[in-house]
Structure 1
Amino acid sequence: MLRSYFTIAWRTLAQSKVYSLINVTGLSIGLAAAMLILLYTKDEVSYDQFHANNPNIYRITSKFLSPTGMQTGVAGNTGFLQGPKFAAGVPEIRAAVRFLGTQSDIKKGNEIKSEEVFHADTAFFSIFSFPFVSGNPQTALREPKSVVISEEMALKHFGQKDVLGKSMLMKDSYDKDARFEPYTVTGVARKSPQNSSIKFEILVPFLTKNSEMERSMNWFNTFLNTFVLLDRGSNVALVEKKMNLVYNADAREAMKEAAEKYGDNNKTEYTLQPFTDMHLSTDLPANNGLTGHNSPQLSYILTGIALFILLIACINFVNLTVARSLKRAKEIGVRKVVGGGRMQLVAQFLGESFLLCLAAFIFGLILVQLVLPTFNELANKALALSYLFDIKLILGYLALFLTTGLLAGFYPAIILSGYNPVKTLYNRIQLSGKNYMQTSLVVLQFTIASFLIIGTLTINSQFNYLINKDLGYSDDNLLTVNKSNLTREQAHLLRQELQKDPNVLAVAPKNGGRWNTRARVNGDTEIGFTYETIDPEFLPIIKVPVLKGRNFSASFPADSSTAVLVNEAFVKEARWKDPIGQVVDFWYDNNKKYTVLGVVKDYHYAELSEKIGPQLFTMKARNSYGRFFVKIKPGTESGSLQHVANTFRRLFPLDPYTYKFLDDENRKRYESEEKWRQIMLFGTVLTIFISCIGLFGLATLSAERRTKEIGVRKVMGASIASIARLLTANFLKLVCISFIFAFPLAYYSVDKWLQNYPYRISVNALIFLEAGLLAIIVAFVTVSFQSIRAALMNPVKSLRSE
């Protein structure tokens, strides 16, 4: 019997090649989307799970409390002291490891490059499971000048993997006066797994001076990650309590000093975060040298899109199967007359459904392999098809296959197996009623499609707004070059040498990275702000005006010792009506006080996802620069870049040279928004495409139901255009009805999403109008083909059977 079912199913599908192709195509796309999301989800939830010591690995985190006990913030960073102190004072902590990433200069021959180098305590490989190609992981970090490198770094630096005992020339990144020293390779590790928060190419021992460990104020320096390994079965809450007892006892004097010197009466409580929770954490993400942190929101959206696509593909199957049911009515009648039971017919139709799903599943796998590189680029992953052969994923795909087969085939099987055999044999079977099920499914399809169209248009508009918004300063033809610890004398010499080329219009130094600090205004009011170290040329080079007062000037030596500039946001925060001459008190820096010299116009010094905050500019001689800006003439990029590179290498032969164009740097800030836009665009295109197939199926159903009506209308003189309009109007009504559900949902969703941006577009009616018109046009084009085809039918053929 099973063989008979299979033979009939195969013949039926082979006779309806177009129908089968449409169904297989839709299901293949839906299943491929679902498989990609399963791959993605598997990778997300498996992050950091490969370490043998899980689940006993934790990261030390901090909870900050006000003097009244109210929580004011959390942080995943610690300092020098937390790891060693807690490991010594809490018996349940078997080992502790501090982990810090820095940029260090590495010399190979005459070439110097800046590479990311990680520092870790000796117990690093006792806690974490990173396999070695060569060397002993237990002893690899014991010697001060030892280094563990990855296979890729071994090939890159030495040209081979067998490098145990060889030397690399590196600078100590903590010492600004450091020279290149040889580090001995004591281990070669395999490439860090893709789903690892810790990825390293170069790893050296974490060295701490005794003076740093004895300075109790280092409890408050938070700049690295500290991980601990607990005894199996430890009570985490009890361990946290013991950690805080150690902290309160050891840091008592430091807390008193902080309260007296800085007026800081806030409290800190230390907690433990499971190592495997970092990757998807929103409050305490993997950062500061850790990689791969992702928002769970992206997983939710990708899963939603995949489910939408798969759902629509199943809806298509239902619509197309029911649309063809009239052609199979006689087959059903004959089988019932000769004794076929309803359950046998249900089994037959479900068999056809599973056969189609099997074909779709195979094509879906092929499709996954084809689009995986693009998907990896969008999702910032390195997934491989080999991931599919995980036993859990195989079970997941099997469940997906069975669920899809049942969802796609159950309803048509119940409907078709219930036909009256007498009516089917006399061609009197009709799909009675208004087909609420089919029309509801089409409304659902276009509700989803319209929702995604609105989302895509909104994300596209917001992205264009971000990349085109005036930042308040000029980034055209502006080159930035990093140079750590750049002194005033070096900056002056560098400017002189660079401006010997007439294509270099201006040069200005600035601090590297972003500095943040606090100071007092109006007596005792504290303000937090971004702290910039510049010289008089910086504001002119980026074309930011001084609105009140004046800019720094080399003609006034006191500008570098007693004066500061502030931006408009600082003035607003300080509530100054007349900012010129106001005093900013750095009470914690030997009670240094600075006078406001001028007010700088606000500009977007950070990403547009962050509001412009208070900003203070200084020329304090004690502060060093970290990079410089070079303004060049348009169209002279090649020659100017060569001149800048040659000058830099001549003046600073032991420093690595890297440059960036500031406008490129600004555009790269919005790469995540660009990926969102592409993901939504692909999801929307797929949804619309599969929805059109479903609409085509319903158009086929409608044409079959109204064949004789169309024949009568044509005999009575109806034109082809009027008949096509009659058939098309019904479907356009369904699309318009879908807007009733889609628009409120879309408005709520995009409005919530836009709240993440302080600078954003407004949700306006034009986006909804564009989405509605697009949905109507797509539906009209899809239905018109079938409607015109039905209208062109010969009425004699349609009425002959009456």
Structure 2
Amino acid sequence: MLQHYFKSTLRNLLRNKIYSAINVIGLSLGLASAMLIILYTNDELSYDRFHANVSNIYRIGHNRINPDGSIESRGGNTGYFQGPSFHAAVPEVKSFVRLTGYVTELKQGSEITSELVYAADSNFFSVFDFPLISGAPQTALGDPRSVVISEAMALRLFGKTDVLGMDLYLKANNVFEPYAITGVSRNCPDNSSIKFNIIAPLKVDANDESWADFFLNTFVELEAGANVNDVEAKMKQVYEKEARETILNSAVKYNNKTSIVHVLQPLTDIHLSKIYKADNGLKDASDPMYSYILSGIALFILLIACINFVNLTIARSVKRAKEIGIRKVVGGDKRQLMIQFLGESYLLCLAAFLLALVLVQTVLPFFNQLSNKVLFLSYLLNVRMVLAYAGLFLITGMLAGFYPAMILSGYHPVRSLYNGLKLGKVNLQKGLIVLQFALSTLLVMATIIVYSQFNYLINTDLGYDQDNVIIIRKPGLTHRDANLLKTELLKNPDILYVSARNGGREGTSAKISGDIEAEFDYETIDESYFPLYKIPVVQGRNFSSKFPSDGTHAIIVNETFVKNAGWKDPIGQEVNFWYRNQEKYTVVGVVKDYHYLPLNQEIGPQIFTMSPARDYGLALVRINPDHVADALTYIQKTFNKVFPMSLYQHEFKTLEYQKNYNAEAKWKKVMMFGAGFTIFISCIGLFGMSVLAAEKRTKEIGIRKVLGSSVAAAVTLLTKDFLKLIVLSLLIAMPAAWQLAAQWLQYYPYHIQLNAFMFAFAAVFVVVVSLVTVSFQAFKAAWENPVKALRSE
């Protein structure tokens, strides 16, 4: 019996090759999308779970609480004291590990490279499961001048992994110092928040204010069965007791009225946390929203593929009238027919699954590049993934085949043989087509909006000129060295401007207008900074060497600072850094606001200083756009001459700026491919429906043509019903797309304005693609010889 079912199913599918191909291709695209998303989400959820004792490992975070009980800020970092203090006073804390990352220079032979180095406590390899190829985990980081490197780093530097006892030269205090290699570890897993190539012992430089510092990660291993809430309560008591003096000093010196509460964050929560993020050396911080969006797109595609299957199978029932009638007349019951039709469904699903696996393997390299992952098809072979895909196969086959099987098996045999199958009401089919194209249209509209917003972020006027500006990174760049580099570079006529500024973003506060405290971004620059970026000074003057006191007593502020301070006449106003022995600065100029932050953040208040006590971190060079290659060669030679022991590394400012929007660029591509997939699958389904519609009305078209109807009239007859459904889907999708887009754009303080043109363009695109799809088969049917059409009936 099963053999008979199989043969009958196979013959039926081969006899209707177009129908079968449409269903297999549509389902395979839907299933391939679902497979890729399951791979992605499984990888996201698997982060850091490979550690044997992961359920007992937590990171200490902190909440900064205002006097009214509200939370001012949160962070996943601590200072030096939290780990050892909580370990000593809280019995449930079995051990602790402090970990941070910093960038330094490594010298191997004559080659100098920039490397991320981790610093950790000596028990790092006892708490975390990073197996060593060589070396002892308990003692590998015991010596202050020891270092553990990864297998990949060993091969890169030495061409082998047997490197115990060899030296690695890392830069410290502007000198390359030797560190003995005491261990070689396996490469860190891709799904690890900790990814190190070099890890050295943590050097603790604590002082009385270390309780108030938050700059590294502190992990604690709790005793099995420990109650997290109880541990947090005990940590609070320890902090209030041991940090009491620091808390009082902070309140007096910095007028700090907030309090600190320490919390425990499970290690497995770090990767996807939006509050206590992976930082200070931890890698691959992610947002669960990405998984939701990708899952939604995959669900759309899979749903559309299933809709295709249901619609085409029901529509094809008109051609299976005699088959169904004969089966019932000779004794076939409803159960047997349902088995037959469900068998066809599952056979198609099996073919679609096999094709989907081929598609996944083909597009996986591109998907990895798009998602910043390193996924392999072999990940499907673990038990959980096999069960997930088996469940997906069963559910998809059932969803795609159950309803058609139930409808087809219920036809009356006599009516089937004499009158063919009458589907009666086709509201379900029409509803499914509307739903299918509503989802597709929604994704097309979303793609247009994401694309437009990305272009806006990249092309909007930032308030400064970043073209042809080179950024040279040089940590600890002193004012003297910056002036020396500037003098040498300006000897070349292709170098138009040279400036310097601090290497990162720094925020602080000061008192203005008496005792009013203001917070702002604190920038250290030189007098060439504003001319280099063509940032206009709208009031007062720029810094100048003609005023020797500018470095110690003068500051420049931006327009937002003036607005927030409420100053009508900012020139001559005083800013008091009272916590620095009452250092006071006078405002000598105001610069026009410019977007120094990405456009997903508002312009904030800024203060600019030339204080000689604060080092720079970047050298900025504007070059002649007509001689870029010559200028870059000269800059590198000059840098190496001035700083022979430092690594030269440069980047164009425009490229640095675009990195701020890597996520937007990635989602632009994701949305484009998602929309393309949904439209393609919808159209192949629409094509299949148009084929069946044309076959069903072959006799009618023939009669109409014999009576004088034109080809255009025949085409209109076949397309108008589909067009009505498409227009209805547009009317449903447009309001939903507008609402979702408006909510998404609120994330950006600076964004595009929604307009009717975007939605009209999407609507026209969907209608045109749909008409082309339907009209192809309609024209073919309309051009048929009417005599041939009538004879075939």
After TM superposition, the score normalised by the length of structure 1 is: 0.97
The correspondence of residues 617-632 of structure 1 with structure 2, limited to 5 A, is 617-632=608-623
Question: Given that residues 31 and 352 in structure 2 are in contact (C-alpha distance below 8 angstroms), is that contact kept between their aligned partners in structure 1?
Answer: yes
Describe the superposition over 1:611-652 as per-residue Cα deviations: whole angstroms up to 9, x where unpaired: 110011001111111111111111312211111111111111
1:623-772 correspondence to structure 2 within 5 Å? 623-772=614-763
Q: Is the 8 A contact 1:216 1:250 kept in 2?
A: no
Q: Which residue of 2 aligns with 1:287?
A: 279
Counterpart of 1:121, as a letter, is D
Matched, 1:589 2:580: yes
Asked if structure 1 preserves the Cα contact closer than 8 Å seen for 2:457 and 2:599, the reply is yes
Return the letter of the residue paired with 2:185: A
The answer to whether the 8 Å contact 1:608/1:757 transfers is: yes
In the alignment, what sits opposite 1:181? Answer: 177
Percent of matched pairs sharing the same residue = 54
Which structure 1 residue ranges, 5 or more long, are not aligned? Answer: none
Within the alignment, does 1:230 sit opposite 2:222 as a pair? yes
In structure 2, the residue matched to 1:201 is 197
Deviation of the 1:667 alpha carbon: 1.7
SS of the residue aligned with 2:625? Answer: coil
Q: Distance in 1 between matches of 2:251 and 2:324?
A: 87
Mapped to 1, the partners of 2:592 and 2:92 lie a distance apart of 55
The one-letter code of the counterpart of 2:115 is E
Matched to 2:292, the amino acid is: Y
Partner of 1:342: 334
The equivalent of 1:408 in structure 2 is: 400
In the other structure, the counterpart of 1:363 is: 355
Aligned-partner Cα distance in 1 for 2:388–2:645: 55
Is 1:459 matched with 2:450? yes
Which runs of 5 or more structure 2 residues have no equivalent in the other structure? none
What is the CA–CA distance in structure 2 between the aligned matches of 1:749 and 1:190, rounded to whole Å? 45
Q: CA deviation at 1:797?
A: 4.8
Look up the SS of the partner of 1:204 in the other structure.
Answer: strand
Amino acid of the residue matched to residue 6 of structure 1? Answer: F
Shift of 1:713: 2.3
Q: One-letter code of the match for 2:475?
A: S
Normalized against structure 2, the TM-score is what?
0.98
Per-residue deviation at 1:793? 3.4
1:14-45, CA deviations, whole angstroms, 9 ceiling, x for partnerless residues? 11112111111111111100110110111011
Distance in structure 2 (CA, Å) of the matches to 1:192 and 1:315: 43
Shift of 1:760: 0.3
Aligned to 2:503: 512
1:332 to 324, 346, 357: 324
**What CA RMSD, in Å, does the superposition of the two structures yield over aligned residues?**
1.3
Q: 1:490 to 1:339 in 2, by over 3 A?
A: same
Q: Tell me how many residue pairs correspond in the alignment.
A: 793
Residue 468 (structure 1) aligns with: 459
How big is the shift at 1:482?
1.1
Distance across 2 between alignment mates of 1:527 and 1:585: 10
Q: Is the 8 A contact 2:511 2:578 kept in 1?
A: yes
Determine whether 1:528 maps to 2:524. Answer: no
2:8 maps to which residue?
A: 8
The one-letter amino acid paired with 2:621 is V
CA distance in 1, matches of 2:68, 2:672: 49
- Aligned residue identity for 1:203: I
Q: How does 1:560-579 map to 2 (within 5 A)?
A: 560-579=551-570
Correspondence 1:229-308 to 2 at 5 A? 229-308=221-300
Q: Is residue 512–residue 575 contact of structure 2 (8 Å, CA) maintained in 1?
A: yes
The one-letter code matched in structure 2 to 1:89 is A
* Alpha-carbon distance in structure 2 between the residues aligned to 1:473 and 1:800: 76
Please state how far the C-alpha of 1:706 moved relative to its aligned partner: 3.0
For residue 323 of structure 1, report the CA deviation from its aligned partner.
2.4
Deviations 1:344-367 (A, max 9, x none): 011001001111111110110010
CA distance in structure 1 between the partners assigned to 2:10 and 2:678 by the alignment: 28
Native 8 Å contact 1:216 1:251 kept in 2: no
Amino acid at match of 2:452: S
Query: C-alpha deviations, 1:761-794, integer Å up to 9, x for none?
Result: 0111111101110110011001101222232334
Contact 1:167 1:184 in 2 (8 A): yes
- Provide the C-alpha distance between the structure 1 equivalents of 2:367 and 2:636, rounded to a whole number of angstroms: 37
Q: How does 1:391-406 map to 2 (within 5 A)?
A: 391-406=383-398
Q: Does 1:191 align with 2:187?
A: yes
Structure 1 range deviating more: 111-120 or 62-71:
62-71
In 2, Cα distance between equivalents of 1:792 and 1:490: 82
Q: CA–CA distance in 1 between the matches of 2:692 and 2:413?
A: 21
Matched residues in 1 for 2:606 and 2:51: separation? 44
* Residue identity opposite 1:786 in structure 2: Q
Specify the code of the residue in structure 2 equivalent to 1:396. A
1:117 is the counterpart of 2:91: no
Q: 1:556 aligns with which of 544, 547, 568?
A: 547
- Rate the CA distance shift 1:800–1:506 in 2: closer, same or farther, 3 A: closer
Cα pair distance change 1:801/1:22, threshold 3 Å: closer
Partner Cα distance (1:333, 1:428) in 2:
9
Equivalent residues in 2 for 1:428-467, closer than 5 Å: 428-433=420-425, 435-467=426-458
1:276-310 Cα deviation digits (max 9, x unpaired): 01111111121221111111111001001111111
SS of equivalent residue, structure 1 residue 635: helix
Contact 1:518/1:529, CA 8 A, preserved across alignment:
yes
Comparing 181-190 with 694-703, which one deviates more in the overlay?
Answer: 694-703
Q: What letter corresponds to residue 30 of structure 2 in structure 1?
A: G
Q: Note if contact 1:483-1:628 (Cα within 8 Å) is conserved in structure 2.
A: yes
State the distance in 1 between where 2:478 and 2:3 align: 85
Separation in 2, partners of 1:411, 1:363: 24
What do residues 387-426 of structure 1 show as CA deviations (whole Å, max 9, x unaligned)? 0101100000000111111111111111211222112222
Distance 2:669 2:609 in 1: 42
Q: Match for 1:144: what amino acid?
A: P
What is the letter of the counterpart of residue 199 of structure 2?
L
Structure 1 residue 690: deviation in Å?
Answer: 0.4
- How does 1:367-386 map onto structure 2 within 5 Å? 367-386=359-378
Q: Distance in 1 between matches of 2:248 and 2:196?
A: 39
Show the counterpart of 1:95: 95
Output the amino acid matched with 2:318. L
* Deviation (angstroms), 1:257: 1.0
Opposite residue 413 of structure 1, the aligned amino acid is: A
Separation in 2, partners of 1:285, 1:713: 69
In structure 2, C-alpha distance between the alignment counterparts of 1:135 and 1:79, rounded to whole Å? 29
Q: Shift of the alpha carbon at 1:800?
A: 5.3
> Matches of 1:668 and 1:660 in 2, distance apart?
11
1:222 alignment partner AA: F
Relative distance call for 1:428 and 1:208 in structure 2 (3 A) is closer
1:448-504: CA deviation from partner (whole Å, max 9, x where unpaired): 011001000000000111110111111111111111222222111111111111111
Check whether the contact 1:695–1:783 (CA below 8 A) recurs between aligned residues. Answer: yes
AA at the equivalent of 2:70: M
Distance in 2 (CA, whole Å) between partners of 1:656 and 1:792 is 73
Partner secondary structure for residue 118 of structure 1: strand
Counterpart AA for 2:190: Q
Whether the 8 Å contact between 2:318 and 2:420 is mirrored in structure 1 is no
